[in-house]
Amino acid sequence: MTTQSDGKESDGSKWPSIVGWMAVVCSAAITCFWAFWGIIENFHEGWHYESLWANIALMFAQYLSPMLVFLAVGLVAIRWPRIGSLLHVGFAVFLTWLFGGFTDTIVLLIAGPLLLLAAAYWFGRIKRRRTAAAFLVGATLITLIACGVEPAVRVAGRLEDGDLGARVVQGNGVTLVWAPVGPGWPREGVDWDEAVQRCRHLTADGTKLADEPQDIWRLPTVDEAVRSMHRHGKHCGGRWDAQSGRTVYDVKPDKESPLWDIHAQLIYWWTADEIDAEKAYMIVYDGRVRERKKTIAPTYFAFRAVKSVDSSIAGTQHGSPDNRAIAVGRSWVSICVAPLRLQLSRPLLRVPHRTGSQGWDALSRVGHRGAAQGEIVERG
């Protein structure tokens, strides 16, 4: 070790230690980012199975896996810096290949930082390895817990009344019938054009698709969807400003009855409002409104058809405090005392792009599950 006359380390001998700790801090920043992203996305679009263990498996396999990988690589680099350095180089090469080669974005956001981190671990020195490892793990866990408590509590308290039939939802200046589960409220991804066509062919009870257009059902407008959003059995006082493209709520909505199925993967619904020939508005279960291309249809994009209330329909009044308490209790039981079986998938509904009788008949049979739930329900 190079020393000065007063017995202190020279500035040159300090740099390997500084570089090594810079690498540890960068690793912590990466793992904390993925902890934040993973736990937020897990409770945003994941955690929809009825089984607790299925939800936990999905959380670790899909949403927390990037955090776990970078945490493991960081710990290896702290213990064996040269091996960890090579692992970072390998990740840089793999991710560059995975995302389509060297582009400015890939170099700036992925490959470049990983290669710099690899160099820092290679040339740096970490003397207090246990302290460095504790810092890396501790920062990651603190981020995970701090960002996960609120969404976990919110999801656990979601209202689920078990009624997936047609619903009359009223209040906040809007009264509409929302379609039952089936062809008018599907469980698989649907693009905008197909959603419009399904609404046109949906029969009056919302359980079948007719050969000819019926023009009874339609997609809700953005304003109707925003005004209809509920939480804990009450509307959220939503308002839509079309000029600014912003929503305002007295209470933030959530993925709950009577509009949403907490055990479905769907978190976005198409609306009738078009932006142009290529884009339309979607509403998220939490009340946000987003622009999306009409042609995309991932598994969490779908719709729920609406129609005007028929005066001949007699609704049953629900939504009392006692009923809401029972529904919230069911939600807690579903999450905390769910069956041990892994319900890793639900039957998918494949939609024909033609309107022939065979295609529509095969599709409409799915609607009977929602219709069997009973009468239309009115909520205030």
The pTM assigned to this predicted structure is 0.76
On whether the CB atoms of residues 265 and 48 are closer than 8 A, the answer is yes
- Residue 109 is predicted with a pLDDT of 77
- Residue 336 is predicted with a pLDDT of 43
- Residue 112 is predicted with a pLDDT of 85
β-bridge partners, 282: 270, 290
On whether the CB atoms of residues 228 and 239 are closer than 8 A, the answer is no
Domain ranges of the chain: 12-156, 167-312+352-379
- Residue 96 is predicted with a pLDDT of 86
On whether the CB atoms of residues 307 and 166 are closer than 8 A, the answer is no
Maximum Cα–Cα distance across the chain: 98
Tokens of 157: 């308290």
On whether the CB atoms of residues 293 and 279 are closer than 8 A, the answer is yes
In this prediction, the residues of the chain whose per-residue pLDDT falls under 70 are: 1-12, 311-380
- Counting Cα atoms < 13 Å in the Cβ hemisphere of 14 gives 6
Q: 6-47: per-residue pLDDT in tens?
A: 444 455 578 999 999 999 999 999 999 999 999 999 999 999
- Residue 11 is predicted with a pLDDT of 54
- Residue 358 is predicted with a pLDDT of 40
